[in-house]
């Protein structure tokens, strides 16, 4: 629901990046700042990228949906998951980004990103851990959304999920090295 958003948050980064990361939609802070992944999920993402030896300046980072959708919760703007229709409506923008950037690898952060990239609802657990191809991208990896890591109530589980996320990123860099 684009009318609620402060602004459109476009993708940004290296024009011919080897890796294009797709998130879900801008969050509260991204909506205010006008840039993707600058809030709490972005901080986890940056930390994991650094641990995996990936420089964010070498990436192109975007979202399946370009507007923040939310509902009021007290004084907070609580994130609302985009609908299948909203994901489909924004899909041409993602396809255009893929066409311009022509990344070697696309990384879907979470189920909404994967739903956009594969043009159908997919189960994260079934897709994680190997490369897939689509008509718009030759090598696609699916991993967890950084916000899902933050949502785990137990710190041990958070740490475990975070480690698995870093491992997925390592796997992607070694895939890129082997395919070079
Ligand atoms: N979550 C996303 O999926 N994208 C952002 O840009 C920020 C948070």
Distance CA 31, CA 22 (A): 16
Mean pLDDT of the 49-65 span? 96
Mutate to test the pocket of ligand 1, among 28, 36, 62, 80 (most ligand atoms within 8 A of CB): 36
Instruction: Say if residue 133's pLDDT is above 90.
Output: yes
Collapsing DSSP states into helix, strand and coil, what is residue 65?
coil
Q: Is 112 in the pocket of ligand 1 (CB under 6 A)?
A: no
In a domain, 3, yes or no: no
Mean pLDDT of the 78-90 span? 96
CATH number at residue 142: 3.40.470.10
This prediction's pTM: 0.96
Measure 35 CA to ligand 1 centroid, in angstroms. Answer: 9
In a domain, 103, yes or no: yes
In a domain, 25, yes or no: yes
Please give the residue range of the domain that contains residue 95: 12-179
Which residue's entry shows tokens 């399946």? 64
Which stretches of the chain are DSSP H helices?
28-33, 40-51, 84-101, 111-118, 124-127, 146-151, 155-179
Mean pLDDT of the 163-177 span? 97
For the chain, the average pLDDT equals 96
Our count of domains for the chain comes to 1
Measure 22 CA to ligand 1 centroid, in angstroms. Answer: 9
Instruction: Say if residue 2's pLDDT is above 90.
Output: no
In a domain, 30, yes or no: yes
Q: Is 144 in the pocket of ligand 1 (CB under 6 A)?
A: no
Q: Is 36 in the pocket of ligand 1 (CB under 6 A)?
A: yes
Mean pLDDT of the 83-89 span? 96
In a domain, 6, yes or no: no
In a domain, 125, yes or no: yes
Residue 11: how many other CB atoms lie within 10 Å = 21
Mean pLDDT of the 117-146 span? 96
Under DSSP, the state recorded for 2 is G
Q: Is 41 in the pocket of ligand 1 (CB under 6 A)?
A: yes
Which stretches of 67-154 are DSSP H helices?
84-101, 111-118, 124-127, 146-151
Model confidence band, residue 179 (pLDDT cutoffs 50, 70, 90): confident
What pLDDT does 1 receive?
Answer: 65
In a domain, 1, yes or no: no
């Amino acid at each position: 629901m684009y009318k609620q958003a402060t602004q459109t948050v476009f993708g940004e980064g290296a024009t011919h990046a080897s890796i294009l990361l797709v998130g879900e939609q801008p969050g509260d802070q991204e909506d205010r700042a006008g840039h993707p992944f600058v809030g709490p999920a972005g901080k986890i993402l940056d930390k994991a990228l650094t641990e995996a030896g990936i420089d964010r300046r070498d990436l192109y980072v975007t979202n399946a949906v370009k507007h923040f959708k939310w509902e009021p919760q007290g004084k907070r703007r609580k994130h609302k998951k985009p609908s299948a229709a909203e994901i489909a409506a924004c899909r041409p923008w993602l396809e255009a980004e893929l066409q311009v950037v022509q990344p070697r690898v696309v990384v879907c952060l979470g189920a909404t990103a994967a739903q956009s990239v594969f043009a159908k609802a997919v189960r994260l657990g079934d897709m994680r851990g190997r490369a897939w191809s689509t008509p718009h991208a030759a090598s696609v990896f699916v991993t967890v959304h950084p916000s899902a890591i933050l949502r785990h109530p137990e710190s041990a589980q958070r740490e475990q999920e975070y480690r698995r996320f870093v491992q997925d990123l390592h796997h992607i860099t070694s895939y890129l090295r082997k395919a070079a």
